[in-house]
Chain A
Amino acid sequence: MTGMIYPAIIMGGLGLIFGALLAFASKKFHVETDPRQANIRAILPGANCGGCGYPGCDGFAEALANGTGKITGCAAGGSALADSIAAILGVQAEKDEPKIAFLKCKGSNDKTVKNCVYYGEYDCRAAAVVPGKGPTSCAFGCMGLGTCVSVCAFHAMTIKNGLAVVDAEKCVGCGACVENCPRDVLVLVPRKSKVNVSCNSPLKGPDVKRVCSVGCIGCTLCAKSCPVQAIEMKGALAVIDPAKCINCGICVTKCPTKSITDRRTNEEKAVSAVKETISV
């Protein structure tokens, strides 16, 4: 019987001593964590797209908790998420416009000249370093090798007929594709901007015509016909200012090379047509 008492006392005593040590250590070396960080992390989408500029959602939550992150930084979550983050942090969320990726190129395989056979690695970034900066004869247009497809965390990009196609329903405007496009032919535009120039080539008309039948030739017809002067010519490339544009679609009908994309629905088109007739 006595044989059991001593081990029990020793084990119990050791347990008490270590317990006390642990209790002391947990008080002494306590790390202050912001409880808001975990709360914010829980409501972030968790796709780790990196569109906010931080290493994944964890990094973004930490930045938000210590006050360096922007509340509207998560494009994937949109304004609803920004509101919930603002509620957790106890601040007012400023409204950021929802954005969408847009391809400034219409030069699909049948519309452009491809004058070499590309054997190399199937990635736009790798193709951009070979002589001629890629397989397309236009040095500014979409190569269609799908870097944007591989970096999109929301499966919003596909390649069709040599061009990147943005799925408007899936795109959250995180900008990962824009960041990784070696030709800067993808841009973020406000979702409400429905009429955009689909060309990225600053070259003059004949030089564009030589390689592509749907590129902007810099004829200035759109700029002249715009009722609100929202179109500016940057060199030989028309650029629509989304802040001024009223999505009337007049430029789309004027463009001789059909290089302006109209993403309005039929209803929207009808509404602006009615407005036009009234104003006339």
Chain B
Amino acid sequence: MKLPSFWGGIHPPQKKDATVNKKIEKYLPKGDLVFPMAQSLGAPCQPVVKKGDRVLVGQKLGDSEAFVSAPVLSSVSGTVKDIALRLTSAGIYENCVIVENDGLYEKDPSWAPLDNYPEADPKEYLKRIREAGIVGFGGATFPTVVKLSPPPDKVIKWLIVNGVECEPYINCDNRLMLEEPEKILEGLRLMLRLFPEAEGVIGIENNKPEAIKTMESEVSKQGDNKISVVPLAVKYPQGAEKMLIEAVTKQEYVMTALPADVGCIILNVRTVHQIREAIAAGEPAISRIITVTGEAVAEPKNIHVLLGTSMRELIDFCGGFREQPVKVISGGPMMGVSLRSIDIPVVKSTSGILALTASNSHLAPESACIRCGRCFEGCPMGLMPSVLNPLVLMRDYKAFEETGGMNCIECGACSYSCPANRHLTQSFRDGKSTIMAMRRKAAVK
């Protein structure tokens, strides 16, 4: 039987074998913890603690008044050592709160399970999700409470749990589904109380048969007919919001619409898991599961790690480097960001640390477009990358917008499929950000 998927897309090598059978290990930090104040999409937080303050696990370090924002919480107990600029995975020096760990892990007493949570008012859930600083753990770090508060005129028909994990190398969501399926399902059921008309769908790619089996048996064990597991064909970028909607609901997606416009809300498995932890166990978003892998890492692992831990500690925990890496990436190889140093804290968006050797991160020089059209076939948004690319290079922003360039989701499928190694995705990012900057300037005027 042909499994559902979306139009376009590419098939990069999976390379998930190194960590697919590795149990999630817990790691406790040794050094100081660094908490960047900008960890979610939207407004960055302002520190609410001072140098020298004692903080507890789950205590707020930074918050913002803005609606689209999520607070940053401390993952350890200890003293605030400094508030200073530190290099983050964004590659720039950002405002960070640095906490010296006292190793006691004394918890903030305000974090307890929600009273009688299965019957509580769903509004309480939303409050909890905001206070717990939960964001989309898939990588985009969009504040979850904003996602769960669609405009009242939109009817939500599908609550989709994203267990696709289409990025090569990364296995953290896969392992979570294998090890704690009951918590994911409980989280999903709690969220379904917010949207009584919705059905819960868990989308998993077919390259994770164990995870599909585990989730399906868990669903049938609990006998819930509102929740179903949908196996999907293996294709990148299926984990992208728009592609997953197309694959799961089998409706063609309007490029400019938001998921709520077509009655969908999409949450990553780890996000649903974290929601359950915050409501049922009183555990705020202070940790995440990451995959430390790549050919240069001696002993690849899946690690449950406290946010703010230095990546260097995690690589040491994995036995250090087998050979000198030439490229270290935060996230997966397709959409991750290259790092300038490994003395960088783990943040909410870090889904993996990938260390590549010279042989598998080779980049050939750019050459001229040969009009083969592979980028047309690969683009999941139905754009024409080889037409858009020269428009950016010629700085014809008007034509770029008219040809649909602003709909690019920057998945990298075009750059991956280009035999001439053209910097397609980079040029679209450039075009999009320049146009956005021009719009902002015009709005100010």
Contacts from A to B (Cβ < 8 Å): 115-116, 119-121, 123, 125-126, 128-133, 137, 139, 203, 207
A residues near B337, Cβ cutoff 8 Å: 131
B residues near A130, Cβ cutoff 8 Å: 91, 338, 426
Q: Select one of B363, B423, B430 contacting A125, CB under 8 A.
A: B430
A residues near B92, Cβ cutoff 8 Å: 132-133, 139
Question: Is B340 touching A125 in the complex (CB atoms < 8 A)?
Answer: no
Question: Is A132 touching B423 in the complex (CB atoms < 8 A)?
Answer: no
Question: Is B340 touching A115 in the complex (CB atoms < 8 A)?
Answer: yes
B89 interface residue (CB < 8 Å to A): yes
Question: Is B338 touching A116 in the complex (CB atoms < 8 A)?
Answer: yes
Q: Give me the 7 closest cross-chain CB pairs, A-B, nearest first.
A: A132-B91, A131-B337, A131-B91, A129-B429, A126-B430, A121-B423, A115-B340
Q: Which residue of B lies closest to A113 (CB)?
A: B340
With the chains together, A245 CA to B339 CA distance in Å?
43
B341 interface residue (CB < 8 Å to A): yes
Question: Is A115 touching B341 in the complex (CB atoms < 8 A)?
Answer: yes
Question: Is B85 touching A203 in the complex (CB atoms < 8 A)?
Answer: yes
Q: 1/0 per position for B412-445, CB-CB distance to A under 8 A?
A: 0000000000010011011001100000000000
Q: 1/0 per position for B177-200, CB-CB distance to A under 8 A?
A: 000000000000000000000000
Q: Which residue of B lies closest to A114 (CB)?
A: B340
Question: Is B340 touching A137 in the complex (CB atoms < 8 A)?
Answer: yes
Question: Is B426 touching A121 in the complex (CB atoms < 8 A)?
Answer: yes
A-B contact pairs, 20 of them (CB 8 A): A115-B340, A116-B338, A116-B340, A119-B363, A121-B430, A123-B430, A126-B423, A126-B426, A126-B427, A126-B430, A128-B430, A130-B426, A131-B89, A131-B91, A132-B90, A132-B91, A132-B340, A139-B92, A203-B85, A207-B93
Return A207 CB to nearest CB of chain B, in Å.
5
With the chains together, A132 CA to B429 CA distance in Å?
14
Q: Select one of B93, B338, B366 contacting A131, CB under 8 A.
A: B338
With the chains together, A170 CA to B178 CA distance in Å?
67
Return B169 CB to nearest CB of chain A, in Å.
18
Contacts from B to A (Cβ < 8 Å): 85, 89-93, 337-341, 363, 366, 392, 423, 426-427, 429-430, 433-434
With the chains together, A128 CA to B90 CA distance in Å?
12
With the chains together, A279 CA to B337 CA distance in Å?
59
Question: Is B89 touching A139 in the complex (CB atoms < 8 A)?
Answer: no
B residues near A119, Cβ cutoff 8 Å: 363
Return B35 CB to nearest CB of chain A, in Å.
18
A129 and B430 contact, Cβ closer than 8 Å, known pairs A139-B93, A207-B93: yes
Sample of 20 further A-B pairs with CB below 8 A, known A116-B340, A129-B429, A207-B85:
A119-B363, A120-B426, A121-B426, A123-B430, A125-B434, A126-B423, A126-B426, A126-B427, A126-B429, A128-B430, A129-B430, A130-B338, A131-B91, A131-B339, A132-B90, A132-B91, A132-B92, A133-B91, A139-B92, A207-B93
With the chains together, A119 CA to B339 CA distance in Å?
14
Q: Which residue of B lies closest to A207 (CB)?
A: B85
Return A205 CB to nearest CB of chain B, in Å.
12
Return A191 CB to nearest CB of chain B, in Å.
26
Q: Select one of B338, B339, B426 contacting A129, CB under 8 A.
A: B426
Question: Is B363 touching A203 in the complex (CB atoms < 8 A)?
Answer: no
B residues near A207, Cβ cutoff 8 Å: 85, 93
A residues near B429, Cβ cutoff 8 Å: 126, 129
Q: Which residue of A lies closest to B424 (CB)?
A: A121
Q: Which residue of B lies closest to A116 (CB)?
A: B340
Q: Which residue of A lies closest to B336 (CB)?
A: A131
Question: Is B427 touching A121 in the complex (CB atoms < 8 A)?
Answer: yes
With the chains together, A128 CA to B93 CA distance in Å?
15
With the chains together, A116 CA to B434 CA distance in Å?
23
A residues near B85, Cβ cutoff 8 Å: 203, 207
With the chains together, A128 CA to B432 CA distance in Å?
12
Q: Which residue of B lies closest to A210 (CB)?
A: B93
A residues near B90, Cβ cutoff 8 Å: 131-132
Q: Which residue of A lies closest to B92 (CB)?
A: A139
Question: Is B423 touching A120 in the complex (CB atoms < 8 A)?
Answer: yes
Return B272 CB to nearest CB of chain A, in Å.
28
Return A211 CB to nearest CB of chain B, in Å.
9
B residues near A116, Cβ cutoff 8 Å: 338, 340
Residue of A119, A131, A137, A139 with most partner-chain B CB within 10 A: A131
With the chains together, A131 CA to B429 CA distance in Å?
11
B residues near A203, Cβ cutoff 8 Å: 85, 93
Q: Which residue of B lies closest to A132 (CB)?
A: B91
A residues near B341, Cβ cutoff 8 Å: 115
Return A190 CB to nearest CB of chain B, in Å.
24
B residues near A126, Cβ cutoff 8 Å: 392, 423, 426-427, 429-430
With the chains together, A115 CA to B89 CA distance in Å?
14
Residue of A116, A121, A207 with most partner-chain B CB within 10 A: A121
B residues near A121, Cβ cutoff 8 Å: 366, 423, 426-427, 430
With the chains together, A131 CA to B89 CA distance in Å?
8
Return B339 CB to nearest CB of chain A, in Å.
8
Q: Which residue of B lies closest to A126 (CB)?
A: B430
With the chains together, A129 CA to B90 CA distance in Å?
11
With the chains together, A120 CA to B90 CA distance in Å?
17
Return A6 CB to nearest CB of chain B, in Å.
57
A residues near B340, Cβ cutoff 8 Å: 115-116, 132, 137
With the chains together, A25 CA to B338 CA distance in Å?
68
